[in-house]
Chain A
């Protein structure tokens, strides 16, 4: 789950980090009053709170020189889609004069299975671009998760960026705070880009935190605002989450349901291979019960762009008879709204599953390629 910039900044302040003075406004708020109450003095930065990448380049950040201009620009921003997403929240901040921008981020490294700290003196640009143009300028440091990031380690990274004196000690505190927030909030990513370098300190102008979805039960305060996080998910994807379905929307017309991410992805690839286009990816997961299968089939068949549906199940922890029961339940519920369907069913309790489907006139395939050919001929 990606957090909004203002949420990430709320978090980092709890760790004693200073952020630019600012105020959050929503559509319909009295922007002028909000700015004055917060004691902000122009120049100001008006920043759309959207979760799309490249927000600045897409026009989501505006610099203004007066409060009146901030009000006008805010009203415009609320109406302007940033890469297709209209912001419902803005963060208005004191603009900070600075010459040098740094980068500081922490990710979980999959190969080393450790937190990886990345710092660079090329802030303000995409880290991917830096990696291409100045690979030597990205300093990498693995942290022992049992020890945590100690001050001497943070300091040493600051020195490698050429910092000294008060800038160095400010950077050291910032990096430790970022690391602690990363760990406490179960983050997959915590980064500041740009991290402004001022004469006596560093100051995070932007801040991003992504919380691991599996950990949201420990951070339920962020789970409730799902609907506001458009940009990360489509409307149908949000609806799917509410039904607990692992669903990704695509742009074709063949509904794809499978069990297990790998098999479902492969099914999607094969649908393409046979000259068709998947409308979605839906993984019913391991051990799905009939009720869950019913929800999945109904959800996919209720998508107006779906013309036919392919269900590909290889039962392991998932039992073929449960799957068959779920399919039958969904078809009964949908009645004449049901769409043409091809089922490939094999694995645990396969025979029982086939019998259940045959009773409602569906003959499941056991060979996936034969099933795909039948799907194509539909």
Chain B
């Protein structure tokens, strides 16, 4: 099981001929992800690692009607256009890797996707992996292994770090999803916890958050209200970040005094969520949660 992607996921890579697009197509193919087509305007008719390239997503879908997921490596200025294209072509899940997309562009396509019933992951995210089955993203495959832990994160590299130490401790993952570091993203933690709650493989969830926004607090509220019953282990990056400064991620900023580390941790603890002080405590807390569950 796992959520959103599995061995039947058929992927189209938008921006497949670029440096990152082609490199990660190769790595996804090595992970046995079913990459059925690529899209780069003007490069139709060529191939990348044996994957046929088309000028439009529509062309790609015509030739590969079983395609259901897109991963986008298109540069920020034109990325929004690529997302609309994927939605209009009828794909059901769109993973947006691109960083630095204008926030109003993201607002537009996230709302459009919602209306059309399409799931957007990202932007500014590492993608999603269901270990042992498929990887639609840019994460280094070696740190993951199949198992009962569902991971959601606002950060790419920190996800790899956490997964690496969980795997090392013998704690594999159901699905690992990077929701993205921007202020406006498609999927957010409150939606992901509902998906993990319903997934039979997931026994415990790990939420890797950071300062800014209120996604972690909203999850805490859902736990309090009894909507989420599976145990959650959380970590929040940015304990020592100064207020009002943007810490790399556009979304990692404490504004108007909200989204602080202290508030997040206090709210989560009051809901019974286990909070790790460093990412390296997570495996221990996950073990405890599994034993209780």
A186, A285, A317, A318 — which one has the most chain B CB atoms within 10 A of its CB? A317
In the bound complex, how far is the Cα of B156 from the Cα of A347, in angstroms? 12
Task: Judge whether B153 is part of the interface by a CB distance below 8 angstroms.
Answer: yes
Tell me whether chain A's interface is mostly helix, strand or loop, or mixed. mixed
A145, A286, A318 — which one has the most chain B CB atoms within 10 A of its CB? A286
CB pair A260–B76 under 8 Å, yes or no, is no
CB pair A248–B246 under 8 Å, yes or no, is yes
In the bound complex, how far is the Cα of B240 from the Cα of A278, in angstroms? 10
CB pair B210–A114 under 8 Å, yes or no, is no
> Which one of A21-29, A78-86, A197-205, A208-216 is at the B interface?
A208-216
CB pair B102–A348 under 8 Å, yes or no, is no
Report chain B residues within 8 Å CB of A285. 99, 248
In the bound complex, how far is the Cα of B100 from the Cα of A217, in angstroms? 11
Report chain A residues within 8 Å CB of B181. 261-262
Report chain B residues within 8 Å CB of A368. 161, 280
CB pair A246–B156 under 8 Å, yes or no, is no
CB pair A263–B158 under 8 Å, yes or no, is yes
> Which one of B39-47, B81-89, B104-112 is at the A interface?
B104-112
CB pair A347–B237 under 8 Å, yes or no, is no
In the bound complex, how far is the Cα of B99 from the Cα of A285, in angstroms? 9
CB pair A317–B138 under 8 Å, yes or no, is yes
A residues 288-323 touching B (CB-CB < 8 Å)? 314-318
CB pair A316–B247 under 8 Å, yes or no, is no
Interface size on A, residues (CB 8 A): 52
Interface size on B, residues (CB 8 A): 63
Task: Judge whether B183 is part of the interface by a CB distance below 8 angstroms.
Answer: yes
Given contacts A248-B246, A265-B241, contact A316 B157 (CB under 8 A): yes
Instruction: Determine the residue in chain B with the shortest Cβ distance to A186.
Output: B104
CB pair A111–B111 under 8 Å, yes or no, is no
CB pair B100–A262 under 8 Å, yes or no, is no
> Which one of A12-20, A162-170, A266-274 is at the B interface?
A266-274
Which listed residue (A212, A218, A272, A317) contacts B156, Cβ 8 A?
A317
Report chain A residues within 8 Å CB of B107. 108, 113-115, 145
Report chain B residues within 8 Å CB of A272. 239-240
Report chain A residues within 8 Å CB of B166. none
Task: Judge whether B49 is part of the interface by a CB distance below 8 angstroms.
Answer: no
Task: Judge whether B54 is part of the interface by a CB distance below 8 angstroms.
Answer: no
* Shortest Cβ distance from residue B226 to the other chain A in the assembled complex, whole angstroms: 20
Report chain B residues within 8 Å CB of A145. 107-108, 111
Q: Mark A315-349, 1 if CB is under 8 A from B, else 0.
A: 11110000000000000000000000000001110
CB pair B140–A261 under 8 Å, yes or no, is no
* Shortest Cβ distance from residue A367 to the other chain B in the assembled complex, whole angstroms: 9
CB pair A108–B103 under 8 Å, yes or no, is yes
Task: Judge whether B230 is part of the interface by a CB distance below 8 angstroms.
Answer: no
CB pair A261–B247 under 8 Å, yes or no, is yes
CB pair B156–A260 under 8 Å, yes or no, is yes
Task: Judge whether A287 is part of the interface by a CB distance below 8 angstroms.
Answer: yes
> Which one of B56-64, B192-200, B250-258, B262-270 is at the A interface?
B250-258
Report chain B residues within 8 Å CB of A108. 103-104, 107, 183-184
In the bound complex, how far is the Cα of B107 from the Cα of A316, in angstroms? 27
Report chain B residues within 8 Å CB of A260. 155-158, 248
Task: Judge whether A11 is part of the interface by a CB distance below 8 angstroms.
Answer: no
CB pair B126–A316 under 8 Å, yes or no, is yes
Task: Judge whether A127 is part of the interface by a CB distance below 8 angstroms.
Answer: yes
Task: Judge whether A188 is part of the interface by a CB distance below 8 angstroms.
Answer: yes
Given contacts A186-B103, A286-B99, A316-B139, contact A264 B248 (CB under 8 A): yes
Instruction: Determine the residue in chain A with the shortest Cβ distance to B239.
Output: A269
CB pair A214–B213 under 8 Å, yes or no, is no
CB pair A317–B24 under 8 Å, yes or no, is yes
Task: Judge whether B287 is part of the interface by a CB distance below 8 angstroms.
Answer: no
A residues 213-246 touching B (CB-CB < 8 Å)? 213-215, 217-218, 246
Report chain B residues within 8 Å CB of A213. 246, 250
CB pair A262–B208 under 8 Å, yes or no, is yes
CB pair B248–A246 under 8 Å, yes or no, is yes
Task: Judge whether B242 is part of the interface by a CB distance below 8 angstroms.
Answer: yes
Report chain A residues within 8 Å CB of B100. 214
Which listed residue (B213, B245, B248) contacts A110, Cβ 8 A?
B213
Given contacts A183-B104, A214-B101, A214-B102, contact A110 B111 (CB under 8 A): no
Given contacts A108-B103, A263-B156, A268-B241, 6 further A-B contacts (CB under 8 A): A110-B184, A110-B215, A248-B246, A261-B210, A262-B155, A278-B240
Using a CB–CB cutoff of 8 Å, the interface residues on chain B facing chain A are 19-20, 24, 76-77, 97, 99-105, 107-108, 110-111, 126, 138-140, 143, 153-161, 164, 181, 183-184, 188, 208, 210-211, 213-215, 218, 237-242, 245-252, 256-257, 277-280
Question: 25 A-B Cβ contacts within 8 A?
Answer: A108-B104, A110-B213, A110-B214, A113-B184, A212-B250, A213-B246, A214-B76, A214-B101, A218-B102, A246-B248, A248-B242, A248-B245, A262-B153, A263-B157, A263-B237, A264-B247, A265-B211, A266-B158, A272-B239, A281-B241, A286-B138, A314-B164, A316-B126, A316-B156, A347-B140
